[in-house]
Structure 1
């Protein structure tokens, strides 16, 4: 009877209204796009073929992936010579990176450092800040479980002005970053570290971003943005390689 009532509620004027199910940010979820599956396989191949040559892993979403595009000159000059590899995939959220960690991308590696940037794509999808924080923190947990001797450097979410409510989005990101800094920064047990570059990319008024550091979509960094990232991360980055 309850099922029938639910069916009647969801079936209105002959149109089926499908319930929407959003995955939790701390779940392990694969994406189904063929190009994504192929990219994951490429990473598996890199892990298998390069093995001990991989000293640093940059892991995350398109902001990481674009070290190979807008940020490529900085990458080639500063990170490639150190044995760094780029495991960024555009559009990934925390749940997708958790799945990638669970499914072989880091198996058998022993890098000195993982630079992690993830969670930005959860902000528009998951309205509860604590859920996003839990998702990012779960990624750190999975990384430490997989690579117990590796330092983890979590980069706080960058400002983004591609949403309709820019001030509201920026305030949410500040809240998320603040909570993650408490959880991950200086976490000796998980070898966790945190760096927040937010104020290099947005003013204290929280009414916009420094657009000269972004490409036209107001979400992704341009070369100047990646140059800033490298410059400001350099001290903690080098200390974690010792």
Structure 2
């Protein structure tokens, strides 16, 4: 049974078992992980990392891809490769994740592929779980540092947090986080901030319902088509 269908206690036990088996060995040692980083937000991600490893063993990943990673907005981008036919891309999103999870699992979702570029979408779930704009910025800075420590010079693109109708009550914090990310990225070499927030609002500053599926949180084809047009010019070919 998948870990996500078990009780919290059972999930924790499963994660401990996976750790003993070595699936989480890289994270357990803290190799390259900054001191003081909060623990992973959920033990469920161990299952996703094992799945990625299985997929890589069955079908060797492309060399030097542009790696997209982060939460469900990446994971559910089923047309990613078709949307960017002139770019070698690899989808390593794991739904529900937060920024700090991408740090803990940086080896599994990005570094092992020696990416020519990393595109990160995270922070959406962080804010939904009560983390502040300052925490999102600090964790994102730690993610960039984690990548730089192992693979200096790798271009990193940070996608702004999208405005979802179901999380419209969080627009203020999302704006603050996006502004902080944009301003910080502007001071960094090879770090780009990509604004997907503003284009997804209507004339009244409200999240556009037509860009989302029924849950009002995840995007539909129109939403991803918009992202394709916005993100495309930033990709390293």
What is residue 50 of structure 1 aligned with on the other side? 60
CA distance in 1, matches of 2:158, 2:144: 8
**1:162: how far off?**
1.4
Larger Rg: 1
CA displacement, residues 33-90 of structure 1 (integer Å, 9 cap, x when unaligned): 3xx322212223455663562411001000000112xxx2xx2423366321111011
Which is bigger in relative contact order (C-alpha 8 A, separation at least 6)?
1
What is residue 46 of structure 2 aligned with on the other side? 37
Q: Secondary structure at the match of 1:227?
A: helix
**2:89 matches 1:84:** yes
Give the gaps of 5 or more residues in structure 1: 1-24
**2:69 matches 1:59:** yes
Q: Retained in 2: the 8 A contact 1:137–1:184?
A: no
What is residue 183 of structure 2 aligned with on the other side? 182
CA distance in 1, matches of 2:146, 2:56: 17
Paired residues for 1:34-183 under 5 Å: 36-46=45-55, 50=60, 53-68=63-78, 72=79, 75-79=80-84, 82-101=87-106, 103-163=107-167, 166=168, 168-183=169-184
Q: How many residues align?
A: 201
CA displacement, residues 17-37 of structure 1 (integer Å, 9 cap, x when unaligned): xxxxxxxx942426323xx32
CA distance in 2, matches of 1:117, 1:197: 10
Q: Retained in 2: the 8 A contact 1:54–1:85?
A: no
Q: Retained in 1: the 8 A contact 2:41–2:98?
A: no
Paired residues for 1:193-232 under 5 Å: 193-203=192-202, 205-206=204-205, 208-232=206-230
Regions of 4+ moved over 4 Å: 45-49
Q: Retained in 1: the 8 A contact 2:69–2:110?
A: no
CA distance in 1, matches of 2:55, 2:49: 10
Q: Retained in 2: the 8 A contact 1:117–1:155?
A: yes
Q: Taking structure 1 as the reference length, what is the TM-score of the superposition? A: 0.74
Q: 1:224 to 1:100 in 2, by over 3 A?
A: same
